[in-house]
Structure 1
Amino acid sequence: MNHNQEQIKEAAQFMKEHDRFLVLSHVNPDGDATGSALGVALILEKLGKTYIVINEGETPEKFSFLPRFELLRNLSQQPLDETFGAVIAVDCADESRMGDVRSLFASDAVLLNIDHHPTNDAFGTFNLIRTDAAATAEILYDVAVEAGVPFDKELALCIYTGLLTDTGGFRYSNTSPRVMEIAAQLLTYGVKPGEVAERCLEEITLAHVNILRRALQTLILTHQNQVASITVQPADFEEAGAQREDAGGLVNYCRNIEGVEVGITFIESEPGAIKVSMRARDRVDVAVIAKQFGGGGHAKAAGCTIRGEVADVQKRVWHAVGEALGVKEHE
């Protein structure tokens, strides 16, 4: 049995040994985080366990088609007067990504950390980290098989959603033969791929269009046109009638420009807190850059939150990207 198999067996055993769980993913959850958290919930149900699924902040409404979505709690709006001895964190690149949910841990809590980010700092009591996996959902599939739980449409839908979103609709370079094999197997349980893609990747809100219109007006190219950046500030959200989640995916408009190596968005959804998202092609590992600022992610997709004035944050990030590219900002 190799190391990964041992970790998968350990994770399945963790779920069987305890009776009540706190299940969480990272702040500002995406499709993999949401699908994996709800997938864990379904596995626990099948094992006869009880659980609470919670995050710091809202989960995007576009994932409301997922089973048990209605059970997801927003800690900031639904405080919980309970502490938990068994915790499962999914898709959290490091401990800080759990946010204030950590206040719900009992003093002697044991934590199972399931993740695929290279920047994960192994913060769990038990760590199932596979950086070769395209998504946390890919790892969860193996845990479900090891736990011996029966697959059905609900569980398949959660795992498929995680795979679909973290591979960009099976278009990114992390789309491996293994990912496609799992996805094909999940379709046999009744998952409708066209419907999932429409909800997760195609359908956008009018507020997203409004914020996109404003964001593109800020588009600038630097570093010999190899870096494209856009900026969104609180006034933009207000005038567009948009929320933080409506700004999701804006960074791809930057990265997809011909000749651009790194796309960046600077999103100030609240004064003084700048969410930086980066997407890269081939030459730069943006996870290394994000880690310099307390963030993390993958080589081609990473992010961080930096406090300060927008102009100062831009200057710091552009300098770090320029160092990685070997090209100065104004060259």
Structure 2
Amino acid sequence: MTAATSKAVAGALSGAPAVTILCHVRPDADTIGSGLALGLALTRLGAEVEVAFPDTVALPAVLGELPGSKLLVPAAEVVGHPVVVSVDAASLGRLDELAPVFSAADCSVTIDHHASNDGFGDHDLIDPSADCTAVLVLAVLDDLGIELDADIATCLYAGVVTDTGSFRWARPDSFRITARLLDAGVDGRAWSRALIDSHPFAWFSMVSTVLAGARLDPHACNGEGIVYAVVSHDILSAMSWEESESVIDLVRTAVEAEVAAVFKETAPGEWTVSLRSKRTVDLVPIAAARGGGGHRHASGYSDTGTADDVVARLVESL
């Protein structure tokens, strides 16, 4: 395991005849966009490329429309080339069933921006100061001498626009990078709408039900407050995973709470918990104490039990 620069990662990838790129479980726009952008660039250099993600949850339809989606292969059909790259996975476990493919590689590369990532590859490009993994992939592409075109730029834009909350918490570098991507031909208006502001009509009913049960504890977090909502299995099973992910962005808007949490019951008694904070609370140790991880202001973990038990374990610890 070696901390790597973008130039070192470019050196490890340059000239590789075949590369496997792995995205994390429950894929979002940053992992898929980063994987496809890197894959398109490497195919331009003559490499044989496969991009895959664990099949635990289906790929959101909009991500299947990104340029380069032809590089995606089902997890069961992954060859596992000598060079394997993980994009946006905070730990080896986030690769789920594809973790053995990464571990078996002759040369393994990790590209990620999660603060909880301690590195698990031969070359680890990990930068928690980056808003998303896509901007780290762009740095690698620059060092590979790849000229941005509209297809590669669109894949990178998907990561930037989603992981910055449509630029609501973007650092200055992300705006400069986005200008490059738009100049390369990205239709920012169309892709922002598709990735951020498009929901099926049934989503409105789901949101109204979940938000009606939201609760506020103003005494948690040393009086800074927590707001939380529960998405039970019967509600979650009636929608796609990405639709349930949007709930946290609504709950976090409560002005009375520094921390927001959404508890999602993925199977009876099995939960994933999404955490967000605004200014003062570092969520990484909170999530890490429960086997999870992420960023200072955006983390998550898994738990088991009844809804009341899972909620109580978090709220009472704050």
- TM-score normalized by the length of structure 1: 0.89
Residue 182 of structure 1: how far off its partner (Å): 1.1
For residue 217 of structure 2, what is the aligned residue in structure 1?
222
CA contact (8 A) 2:52 2:78 kept: no
For residue 52 of structure 1, what is the aligned residue in structure 2?
50
Is the partner of 1:64 in helix, strand or coil? helix
Give RMSD over aligned pairs. 1.9
Residue 19 of structure 1: how far off its partner (Å): 1.6
For residue 275 of structure 1, what is the aligned residue in structure 2?
272
Question: CA-to-partner distance for each residue in 1:257-309, whole Å, 9 max, x for gaps?
Answer: 11211110000021232010011011211122111111111111111122333
Residue 106 of structure 1: how far off its partner (Å): 6.5
CA contact (8 A) 2:218 2:257 kept: no
Unpaired runs of at least 5, structure 2: none
CA contact (8 A) 2:83 2:105 kept: no
**Equivalent residue in structure 2 for 1:252, among 249, 252, 257:** 249
Change (3 A) 1:308 1:84: farther
- TM-score normalized by the length of structure 2: 0.92
CA contact (8 A) 1:85 1:106 kept: no
Q: Is 2:88 the counterpart of 1:91?
A: yes
Aligned residues: 311
**Mapping of 1:1-331 within 5 angstroms?**
7-57=5-55, 58-75=58-75, 79-80=76-77, 82-105=79-102, 107=104, 109-172=106-169, 175-224=170-219, 226-238=225-237, 241-320=238-317, 322=318
Identity of aligned residues (%): 29
Unpaired runs of at least 5, structure 1: 323-331
User: More relative contact order in 1 or in 2 (CA 8 Å, sep 6+)?
Assistant: 2
Tell me the distance in 1 between the aligned counterparts of 2:316 and 2:261.
13
Tell me the distance in 2 between the aligned counterparts of 1:17 and 1:138.
22
Is the partner of 1:73 in helix, strand or coil? coil
Question: CA-to-partner distance for each residue in 1:203-246, whole Å, 9 max, x for gaps?
Answer: 112232232122112211114371111111121235xx313222
CA contact (8 A) 2:80 2:105 kept: no
Change (3 A) 1:81 1:185: closer
Tell me the distance in 2 between the aligned counterparts of 1:269 and 1:318.
20
Change (3 A) 1:184 1:118: same
CA contact (8 A) 2:236 2:265 kept: no
Change (3 A) 1:104 1:256: same
CA contact (8 A) 1:230 1:265 kept: yes
Question: CA-to-partner distance for each residue in 1:183-219, whole Å, 9 max, x for gaps?
Answer: 1111111111111110111111223223212211221
